Structure 1
Amino acid sequence: MFESELRSSWLRVFWAMSLLLVVSNSQSTHPAEVTALQVIKESFIDPGNLLSNWDRGDPCVSNWTGVLCFNRTLNDSYLHVRELQLLNLNLAGTLSPAFGRLSYMQILDVMWNNIGGSIPKEIGQLTNLELLLLNGNQLTGSLPEEIGYLPNLDRIQIDQNHISGQIPLSFANLNKTKHFHMNNNSLSGQIPPELSRLPSLVHMLLDNNNLSGYLPPQFSELPKLLILQLDNNHFDGSIPPSYGNMLQLLKLSLRNCSLQGPIPDLSRIPNLAYIDLSNNNLNGSIPPMNLSDDITTIDLSRNQLTGTIPPSFSGLPNLQRLALFNNSLNGSIPSTIWQNRTFNSTVQLTLDMKNNRLSGISGSLNLPPNVTLSLQGNPACTNASMARFCDSPSAIVSRLQSVPSNSTDNCPPQSCPTDYEYAPGSPAPCFCAAPLLIGYRLKSPGFSDFLAYFYSFEVYLTSGLEINHFQLDLTYEWRKGPRLQMYLKIFPAYTVPGSNTFNTSEVLRIRSMFTQWKIPDSEIFGPYELLNFTLVGPYADIIPTSPSSSGISKGAVAGIVVGAIVGAVLLSAFVSLYILKKQRKKYHAVSRRRHVSRASLKIEGVKSFTYSEMKHATNNFDVASEVGQGGYGKVYKGVFTDGTVVAIKRAQEGSLQGEKEFLTEIELLSRLHHRNLVSLLGFCDEEGEQMLVYEFMSNGTLRDHLSVSEKYKESLSFGMRLRIALGSAKGILYLHSEADPPIFHRDIKATNILLDSKMVAKVADFGLSRLAPVADLEGVVPGHVSTVVKGTPGYLDPEYFLTHKLTDKSDVYSLGVVFLELLTGMHPITHGKNIVREVNIAYRSGMIFSVIDAKMGSYPSECVEKFVTLALKCCREDTDERPSMAEVVRELENIRQMMPETDSKIIDSIDIEAGKNVSSPSSSSTTKNPYVSSDISGSDLVSGVIPTIAPR
């Protein structure tokens, strides 16, 4: 009877769906484009399975990932692909020639993936293409001649690939192209002078290639050129004098181009803001240029210039940097360069005159505090009155900077829910909101010091995005180029109570503003690029794939009609199904009890518990046994009949993994054996349940002990903190070097470091872990795993966040943040302030002990200082500058040896006691060590749950 009724109900549903297909058939994707997309998918390698829905339904109707469609003409009954938005999806493989079959496509965006091979010439068939965005991949080969015949191309971005060969002459036909971004490749040969015919060209970025030949003097004929950036190439001859006729030019950057001869007169360029001609072989004197008031940067260093410093460098109100070092200039420096200028707190002027033949300063020697003058290596330094300008400059330490807001300083620390934080600029005090996290970069800014333009930039970006000024919070750092890299947080605007997240349409709107270059270009800020748009927390399931069109399309009308027809049918069917479900509930309960897990047959040394045992241990999963909850489910404290206390993680309905995945994960994690890893004791996979059983960590998380807590009132001494740091580092070192295969943890944080009854630190939560790369057929081991970014904000390695390249040094960075927490007691992000930046500032200013946690009591200052130094090394931006985990452990052992003898003995005695009956890494003990296979963190094994954030 049940089967008959069920079949009848589903026949009704099938009839409704069939009707839907019939009515909406006129609005399906063109068959040729469907086939093209299927071929394109076959050419990709998709390790994250993010294009899995490309096998289901119709591309436009079913919203395939990254496929955006529209109605091309009134006479065409099909939908057509308008955009492919495949930004930052960790795709590899190649670009298929089938791209050429998407005839109506306007935007092709595959930025920041790992796609290799050459650019297919068939892209030249896309006559409607406006944006060709291929940058940040592994593309090789030459540029296809056919691209030069795309009549509507506005922007070509192929930068940061491995493209070689010459720039095709056909590119001179790109009459609508405004942006040539081809930097950081291996392009060679002469730049075609024919490019001077391009009537719309605004930005020409060809730096960091192997270009040679002469600089085309015809470039002076480009009517709209604003930026000419050709650094780090190998040209012959001199800078053409005709470049002084580029009347629209804002930035001229020809650094390290092997250029010779004199500097041309650039004084006729009315708005020139940035000149970099450094590291060439330019000679002669500096011409007396009457430069624009807009000039911010003049860099003529590392040349063979002679003569004096011209007075035309004086009276420039926006000058930030004048670099003339490593030349043969003589005479004195005119003090009028800095006199008669107004300096506020954000204006700095750097004058670098090192290694010349300068004799002194003409005029007053009293420099304003905002002016820095360097005269090392000049005869002037023999004069005692010049000594203060001749000291070696201190090393400039990076990088991340911001203009802090004080609007959240009086808010309770860490009172926002997970994934939320205080919006620093919000007019509503202590407003907790979930921000959008965005990687953003200015590719060719027209200044050297961003601080003077910080607020102007905020106004520019927020007005371009059509949001309020207070919704934006940013940090920034200079990278090679120079390019200005930013980490943006965009907060929802406080409107009514509870409006602390963006709705889906607003998220997609803001994303499209970046991906479609709807934010207007700025003269001073130059071209920008989107590095990533990471959706975490409440936004994690938003996939920007919805098709769009203007007005109500025929498909929408069909949808309305079908909705009306199908609604009643579906209602009837679902009512029937609901009744059947109620009737079959008892049948399912019996059926579940017959299920016996096959996992127990597969894994040796890991106990398979019965559902009955789990139920008894938790008093039928009584609420009093709950000690945590997260996205995976609830965590219970369980007590077995023999008195063993355990933590039981029980999956909630709707979050169950497939049996194969569940089994695979247990098999992987059961192979880990180390005293500093939480032990996996067993699992339960029956009665429709999936549960993992761990040793119970009675002293909670490290974060519990660093925060103000009623449960743990006694603060940790420095010796205990050092011991916890060492134990954590040893556990992670085991993962990196002794586990087989090695593992990158990917979510190290203070809530994932648990403490047992002896206060032994144990690393937990391997739900986000990845296997380290293995050697290829030639025995070469890749240095990283390419993967979609996951982890917890505040602990994420910035390099991994931006490049998606996960390495062992990503774990080192996260552990470094934990070390800073141990030392200061602070959270990684508090009131919008980043712990790494705050400790760096204190360290550089000699005030490091001002941020050390006062609750720690007395401590040996030398040991603390070395611990701080190690922590900051772990958190360096450049991964190559970070220590390995083995070096971290070695340095912690050295600090431990420096501890006063009494403290060292106490720590040793605790370790000896805690080590009793604990197997070593090489032990054959059957106690298995870990991991959480799912969505909640190891902190869910104890009270004070903070669920894992998994950015997508």
Structure 2
Amino acid sequence: MGNLGGALTAAILVVLCSCCVDVARGQITDPNDVNALKAIKHNLIDPTNKLKNWGSGDPCTSRWRGIICGKIPSDSYLHVTEIQLFKMNLSGTLAPEVGLLSQLKTLDFMWNNLTGNIPKEVGNITTLKLITLNGNQLSGSLPEEIGKLVNLDRLQIDQNNISGPIPKSFANLTSVKHLHMNNNSLSGQIPSELSRLPLLLHLLVDNNNLSGPLPPKLAETPTLKILQADNNNFSGSSIPVEYSKIQTLLKLSLRNCSLQGTVPDMSGIPEFGYLDLSWNQLNGSIPTNRLASNITTIDLSHNFLNGTIPSTFSGLPNLQFLNFQNNSLDTIPATFDPPEAVTVLLYGNPVCTTSNAARAANLCRPTSVNEAPSGKGPQPSIVCVPCPTDKNYEYNPSSPIPCFCAVPLGVGFRLKSPGISDFVPYKEAFDLDLTSLLDLLVYQLYVERYIWETGPRLNMHLKLFPSNTSLFNMSEVVRLRQLLAGWQITLSDVFGPYELLNFTLGSYEDEFPETASSGLKKGALAGILAGAIVAAIALSVAATIFIMKKRTKRRTISRRSLGGSGCGERQGYLKSFNNIYPCVLSRFSIKVDGMKCFTFDEMAAATSDFTAQIGQGGYGKVYKGNLADGTAVAIKRAHEDSLQGSKEFCTEIELLSRLHHRNLVSLIGYCDEEDEQYLPLKENLVLQMLVYEFMPNGTLRDHLSAKSERPLSFSRRLHIALGASKGILYLHTEANPPIFHRDVKASNILLDSKFVAKVADFGLSRLAPVPDIEGTLPAHISTVVKGTPVNTAYQSDDISKIIDSRMLSYPPECATRFLALAIKCCRDDTEARPFMADIVRELETIRGMLPEGEDSVSQSMELGSGALMKSMSSSTTTGALFVSSQTSGGAHTNSGIPSGTVAPR
């Protein structure tokens, strides 16, 4: 044993030394990156001293403001992967040394005052995915070298003073989706070579000095959705007929481009939604074929069009705006009858002075070109006591809790090329879309105000409120900023691309980190060293256990005959280590406070060698057991397909151990042993088990079955529904993190000895997935309501057809109200379904309507409404969401995090 100890000691020293050498040598920023950052800083003017920590310490380990770092396998250095200096009031020039940042993925200097050229050296950074330099005063021409950035997803250089042509080399940007080059001084033709871009979605080149003919080959771009080239000078050019065949096109905007010829027939484009060809020299008649039902806007004003207004325009379901002002139209067909909500403008056409004038009177009024429609969000309908003045508390007008004070984040948000002309009908859709992408509940978003700007562009001021708590935690603030500033979300096509104008931290400013986490916080070197030491210790401990297990295998006496304890032995080996790092070694030592770790032998003894099976589900078999102290338990034993990894199983136990509510089945303990130690048992290799309290009255399904010998009275059914609802409400609002069950059914509602309802199978959870760069989640929670239709009987007032005859007498007014609530819960529209809090309140109201004596069944079991409101006001959803992955027996087979349209209801 002495030789063994010496060998282990030597091994530990070798590991420690090698780790420490690596810390000393490799865990610093690449020298080329350091030099590049110093050069960038030298060329910048920083009047507000935002970059005050640039120059002290290592850029990555000292966390220079706006710098995010990462590692690559090929060397031991840290590399700068992102520069995020959005709206820092910086001026000066962008140093060519930026090209030395070989691993840079994001270059963000939006909304500063930079001048000078875009350095051609940017083309050397082939890892770049985002270039956002919009809102500066950059000049000069676009470098050809940018065409070498084969990984570039987004190029935003709009609102600068950049001149010269669009480089033909941009045709090599095979990954690019967004080319936003509007509001510059670009000249020359739009390169036809851009048609070779396989992923291009948005081409915005409006407000430049572009000229020459529009390239017909642009119609060959396979994914193009928005072509916006307003306010250029394509003098003498016509609109290529090929543009009417771009099957993916959603918006074509060529306003004020000196275009001639006729209006193209866009009826063959299935999802086409927006056409603006105003202020050109187009002639002829307007095509009469019916356009796609998505169309919201048709602006053909200030041309030389003649003839009649197509009657097909009056039957378009989403149409908002028709502008034919200042043409030569002379006829309104009798069948032209657009809905009142559609704005139709005909001023300046002969039709306004002919025999049709009386009919066209309302359509021929002049309008001001300076009109800028605007709006505000809903205001509070009740008078509230003023919020606290510290930390800038405000009322959330959208909150379901009246007069709820919280500290919001301010967001300046602009839709750069929206596919709508009126925001009001689309506001609810916008709220749902944005909150879903940001993983917020709908009421957390408040559109404080909005105004249409020249473009047209829609400028909005948004406020993001925390959910049912007064303050965001800082990790949530960082997450939201990263999603918006990093373009990690993509709005629905109808809203087009957006731009972030500002992200106002307000009271969160002092606590906001200098930069998003790059994986190395302050004191990183000490952390790395500590990690190396821990790794070495873990390695030595693992080696010790391995040797001891090898020695154990040589024994001929089985562990069972010796009464060996997996939990006891492992915790004996690693007791002190496990007290500091629970779940780190999992398979060797899972330890969760408040939970008992059972051995396999204890489980086998409790269940008479697993012969007392009482059920089976998607997770595995369920056995009734009696522990050594006489406690009756239900033991769920995972089958092989349900086995989780050690980390997932540990997470599961830790999550369940924190849930305590009288209407949830309580977890008592668990068993997790290495199956290879029980090879002689063959059929019993699966050793992950959860131990729950036993429910002597079985499941609600048992009692609703026609075979049940003990039918439930109406009063008891009502109390069971109320108890189950309170358990689910706790999971939604009080559990931290919140849990969405996803498989609520009668067999998952258990009944104790007093028929108190307890919700089961709410665990087996996993962390919700993170949206990818396009803002897409891997999956979503199904919101389809399944079940037997009862609407017909309810609506015909003949509810006796769906009442269980074994229930005998029941108060009709209570049953009717109970059924009405059930109908609301089954509505297809998610937003039409009641919140769980509303369900609990309504069930409590129905319980109060029961005749005297009926309510005594289990009134003492339920929480009072005061406790409910207290739990609502104290709840928080700032933690990462968990959702149930248990899907057996239910219709909800999709996994993932609920979007904004799946609020806890």
Give, in angstroms, the shift of residue 538 of structure 1.
Answer: 3.6
2:403 counterpart residue number: 430
Give the 3 Å change call, closer, same or farther, for CA 330–281 of structure 1 in structure 2. Answer: same
Alignment of 1:41-440 (within 5 A): 41-73=41-73, 75-235=74-234, 236-338=236-338, 348-358=341-351, 375=352, 378-380=353-355, 383=358, 387=361, 390-393=364-367, 398-406=372-380, 409-414=382-387, 417-440=390-413
State how far apart, in whole Å, the 2-side matches of 1:218 and 1:430 are: 58
The answer as to whether partners of 1:380 and 1:386 remain within 8 angstroms in 2 is no
Amino acid at match of 1:196: S
State how far apart, in whole Å, the 2-side matches of 1:199 and 1:266 are: 23
The answer as to whether partners of 1:123 and 1:147 remain within 8 angstroms in 2 is yes
State how far apart, in whole Å, the 1-side matches of 2:345 and 2:51 are: 53
1:526 counterpart residue number: 496
Give the 3 Å change call, closer, same or farther, for CA 303–263 of structure 1 in structure 2. Answer: same
The answer as to whether partners of 1:33 and 1:101 remain within 8 angstroms in 2 is yes
Query: 1:539 is matched with which residue: 484, 497, 509?
Result: 509
Give the 3 Å change call, closer, same or farther, for CA 264–393 of structure 1 in structure 2. Answer: closer
The answer as to whether partners of 1:188 and 1:210 remain within 8 angstroms in 2 is yes
Alignment gaps of 5+ in structure 2: 1-18, 536-905
Name the SS of the counterpart of 2:376 in structure 1: coil
Amino acid at match of 2:345: D
The answer as to whether partners of 2:346 and 2:365 remain within 8 angstroms in 1 is no
State how far apart, in whole Å, the 2-side matches of 1:136 and 1:100 are: 22
State how far apart, in whole Å, the 2-side matches of 1:556 and 1:216 are: 60
Matched, 1:507 2:507: no
Matched, 1:447 2:447: no
Q: Considering Cα pairs closer than 8 Å and 6+ residues apart, tell me whether 1 or 2 has the greater RCO.
A: 1
Alignment gaps of 5+ in structure 1: 1-18, 359-374, 566-952
Give, in angstroms, the shift of residue 89 of structure 1.
Answer: 0.2
Give the 3 Å change call, closer, same or farther, for CA 395–174 of structure 1 in structure 2. Answer: closer
Q: Give CA-to-partner distance per residue, 1:709-746, whole Å, 9 cap, x none.
A: xxxxxxxxxxxxxxxxxxxxxxxxxxxxxxxxxxxxxx
Give the 3 Å change call, closer, same or farther, for CA 119–209 of structure 1 in structure 2. Answer: same
The answer as to whether partners of 2:62 and 2:522 remain within 8 angstroms in 1 is no
Name the SS of the counterpart of 1:196 in structure 2: helix
Name the SS of the counterpart of 1:28 in structure 2: coil
The answer as to whether partners of 2:91 and 2:113 remain within 8 angstroms in 1 is yes
State how far apart, in whole Å, the 1-side matches of 2:523 and 2:171 are: 39
Give the 3 Å change call, closer, same or farther, for CA 42–335 of structure 1 in structure 2. Answer: same
Q: Give CA-to-partner distance per residue, 1:529-578, whole Å, 9 cap, x none.
A: 1111121124344144143259999968515449999xxxxxxxxxxxxx
State how far apart, in whole Å, the 1-side matches of 2:401 and 2:218 are: 53
The answer as to whether partners of 2:387 and 2:405 remain within 8 angstroms in 1 is no
Residue identity over aligned pairs, in percent, reads: 52
Alignment of 1:786-801 (within 5 A): none
State how far apart, in whole Å, the 1-side matches of 2:460 and 2:526 are: 40
Give, in angstroms, the shift of residue 521 of structure 1.
Answer: 3.5
State how far apart, in whole Å, the 2-side matches of 1:401 and 1:86 are: 31
Q: Give CA-to-partner distance per residue, 1:222-261, whole Å, 9 cap, x none.
A: 1100000000000032000111110000000000000001
Give the 3 Å change call, closer, same or farther, for CA 380–163 of structure 1 in structure 2. Answer: farther
Alignment of 1:762-801 (within 5 A): none
TM-score calculated relative to the size of structure 1: 0.52
The answer as to whether partners of 2:344 and 2:363 remain within 8 angstroms in 1 is no
The answer as to whether partners of 1:225 and 1:249 remain within 8 angstroms in 2 is yes
Name the SS of the counterpart of 1:53 in structure 2: coil
Give the 3 Å change call, closer, same or farther, for CA 194–107 of structure 1 in structure 2. Answer: same
1:478 counterpart residue number: 452
Give the 3 Å change call, closer, same or farther, for CA 220–393 of structure 1 in structure 2. Answer: closer
Amino acid at match of 1:514: L
Name the SS of the counterpart of 2:37 in structure 1: helix
State how far apart, in whole Å, the 2-side matches of 1:388 and 1:564 are: 80
TM-score calculated relative to the size of structure 2: 0.55
Q: Give CA-to-partner distance per residue, 1:818-845, whole Å, 9 cap, x none.
A: xxxxxxxxxxxxxxxxxxxxxxxxxxxx
1:517 counterpart residue number: 487
State how far apart, in whole Å, the 2-side matches of 1:299 and 1:142 are: 33
State how far apart, in whole Å, the 2-side matches of 1:288 and 1:389 are: 20
Name the SS of the counterpart of 2:494 in structure 1: coil
Amino acid at match of 1:315: G
Give the 3 Å change call, closer, same or farther, for CA 299–559 of structure 1 in structure 2. Answer: farther
Alignment of 1:734-883 (within 5 A): none
State how far apart, in whole Å, the 2-side matches of 1:59 and 1:39 are: 13
The answer as to whether partners of 1:27 and 1:554 remain within 8 angstroms in 2 is no
The answer as to whether partners of 1:442 and 1:528 remain within 8 angstroms in 2 is yes
Give, in angstroms, the shift of residue 520 of structure 1.
Answer: 2.0
Give, in angstroms, the shift of residue 398 of structure 1.
Answer: 4.7
Name the SS of the counterpart of 2:315 in structure 1: coil
Q: Give CA-to-partner distance per residue, 1:51-103, whole Å, 9 cap, x none.
A: 11001101010110100011122x42111111000000000000100110000
Q: Give CA-to-partner distance per residue, 1:494-513, whole Å, 9 cap, x none.
A: 1xxxx311111111100000
Amino acid at match of 1:98: E
Amino acid at match of 2:492: S
The answer as to whether partners of 1:71 and 1:553 remain within 8 angstroms in 2 is no
The answer as to whether partners of 1:114 and 1:137 remain within 8 angstroms in 2 is yes
The answer as to whether partners of 1:515 and 1:530 remain within 8 angstroms in 2 is yes
Q: Give CA-to-partner distance per residue, 1:342-393, whole Å, 9 cap, x none.
A: x7xxxx31000111111xxxxxxxxxxxxxxxx5xx335864x765555555
Give, in angstroms, the shift of residue 517 of structure 1.
Answer: 1.0
Name the SS of the counterpart of 1:458 in structure 2: helix
The answer as to whether partners of 2:63 and 2:522 remain within 8 angstroms in 1 is no
1:460 counterpart residue number: 433
The answer as to whether partners of 1:256 and 1:277 remain within 8 angstroms in 2 is yes
The answer as to whether partners of 1:130 and 1:155 remain within 8 angstroms in 2 is yes
The answer as to whether partners of 1:180 and 1:205 remain within 8 angstroms in 2 is yes
State how far apart, in whole Å, the 2-side matches of 1:168 and 1:381 are: 52
Q: Give CA-to-partner distance per residue, 1:825-873, whole Å, 9 cap, x none.
A: xxxxxxxxxxxxxxxxxxxxxxxxxxxxxxxxxxxxxxxxxxxxxxxxx
Amino acid at match of 1:477: I
Two-structure CA RMSD over aligned residues (Å): 2.6
Give the 3 Å change call, closer, same or farther, for CA 397–335 of structure 1 in structure 2. Answer: same
State how far apart, in whole Å, the 1-side matches of 2:199 and 2:271 are: 19
Give the 3 Å change call, closer, same or farther, for CA 270–66 of structure 1 in structure 2. Answer: same
Give the 3 Å change call, closer, same or farther, for CA 556–404 of structure 1 in structure 2. Answer: farther
Give the 3 Å change call, closer, same or farther, for CA 434–387 of structure 1 in structure 2. Answer: same
Give the 3 Å change call, closer, same or farther, for CA 401–94 of structure 1 in structure 2. Answer: same
Amino acid at match of 1:263: V
1:582 counterpart residue number: none
Amino acid at match of 1:248: T
User: Which is greater in Rg?
Assistant: 2
Amino acid at match of 2:461: Y
Q: Give CA-to-partner distance per residue, 1:589-613, whole Å, 9 cap, x none.
A: xxxxxxxxxxxxxxxxxxxxxxxxx
State how far apart, in whole Å, the 2-side matches of 1:395 and 1:443 are: 20
The answer as to whether partners of 1:325 and 1:354 remain within 8 angstroms in 2 is yes
| Aligned length, in residue pairs | 515
The answer as to whether partners of 2:34 and 2:59 remain within 8 angstroms in 1 is yes
